[in-house]
Structure 1
Amino acid sequence: MSTLRILALAARQPSRLPPPSRLIPVQSRHLETRRTFSASPSAKFPIGVDPKTTGGVPWSIGELNHVAIAVPDIDKATSFYRDVLKAKVSEKVALPDHGVYTVFINLGNTKIELLHPYGPKSPIANFLAKKPDGGIHHICVEVDDIKAAMADLKAKKIRALDPEPKIGAHGKPVVFLHPKDCGGVLVELEQK
């Protein structure tokens, strides 16, 4: 039963309303701070969330956090964004646990992450061996509950590259999803 039907029914025939235990709060898609109620079990969760596979814990996808680009020369790429395009650019940071150097370019509504190999066993070294000029490596989207997202996606046969999240460049838990399960795109989920 939709929210509007429940409100209309409440106004006309309050005795026909489902019991309060069946009215479950859901997040409004229009106003983030407003909550609505629904009697429909499938409407409890945001689009794409299956309560059977998440153990009843809803999760939702958020904003695009960044697009990551593998680059053969991180200083040259940084100079291009900073000096030519006049973007705000972070310092180069080494992330040995991930095998990369990173630089973030702030675009206001999202970021670009420049990736360069840190050591010969870097996944970015493998990427650049196949594409010496570099290119888009992955996209990163935010999720409000990374563990619930991982459980739900696993139940839907979407593979994560690691069984547990790691701490990413922003100091938050991240996990990568297998590109073969995501339309050929390496997708990174980051805890909001």
Structure 2
Amino acid sequence: MQLGRLNHVGIAVPDMEAALAHWTGVMGATHVHEPIVIERAGILIRFLDTPAGGAMNGTQVELIQPLRADSTVSPFLAENPGGGQHHLCFEVPDIHEAKAWFEAQGKRVLGEPRPGAHGHPIFFVHGDDMGGILTEILETPKEPQP
């Protein structure tokens, strides 16, 4: 199994507006996508295109803000109140083959493949098994991402 391109870097933020101001004003993000709310996870997401060029050509930044105390990102922000890198997301051609491969390597896959923010299948691999970095695995989108 071979990982594909780095799709995005997930960054947990305590304040979405302050994070957007930083990433557009200081870091030069070229486009801020529409907000996405994932109710089951209790999070608000905003994707930003990097200056290298759009969602299909460049790596994106995913800003993640909790919407409630029991959100999936709340424990991370409790340990890192200012926010920070939450995860890296890599593409793979087949999500089920990738899951089987990671499990065969003894890595802890966190749940079954499920739809991610854009509806494409994802799963996460525990950070302790990935050199300390929570890793999202995304099936390479068959069509351009919004």
- TM-score, with length taken from structure 2: 0.86
Name the counterpart of 1:147: 96
Q: Please list every run of 5 or more consecutive structure 1 residues that lacks an aligned counterpart in the other structure.
A: 1-48, 50-59
Code of the aligned partner of 2:16: I
Name the counterpart of 2:136: 188
After the TM superposition, which parts of structure 1 deviate over 3 Å for at least 4 consecutive aligned residues? none
What number of residue pairs does the alignment pair up?
Answer: 133
1:123 aligned residue (72, 86, 89): 72
Q: SS at the partner of 2:106?
A: coil
After superposition, give the CA deviation of every residue in 1:156-192 in whole Å (9 maximum; x if it has no partner): 1011011x11110121010000111101100000011
8 Å Cα contact 1:95-1:118 kept in structure 2: no
Name the counterpart of 1:134: 83
Percent identical across equivalent pairs? 41
Name the counterpart of 1:21: none
Higher helix proportion (structure 1 or 2): 1
**How far apart in 2 are the matches of 1:103 and 1:91?**
7
8 Å Cα contact 2:29-2:48 kept in structure 1: no
Deviating more after overlay: 115-124 vs 78-87? 78-87
Q: SS at the partner of 1:158?
A: coil
**How far apart in 1 are the matches of 2:74 and 2:80?**
10
Which of structures 1 and 2 has the bigger CA Rg?
1
Q: Please report the RMSD computed on the Cα atoms of aligned residues, expressed in angstroms.
A: 1.3
Higher strand proportion (structure 1 or 2): 2
Q: Please list every run of 5 or more consecutive structure 2 residues that lacks an aligned counterpart in the other structure.
A: 141-146
Q: Note the C-alpha offset of 1:90.
A: 1.1
2:19 aligned residue (68, 72, 77): 77
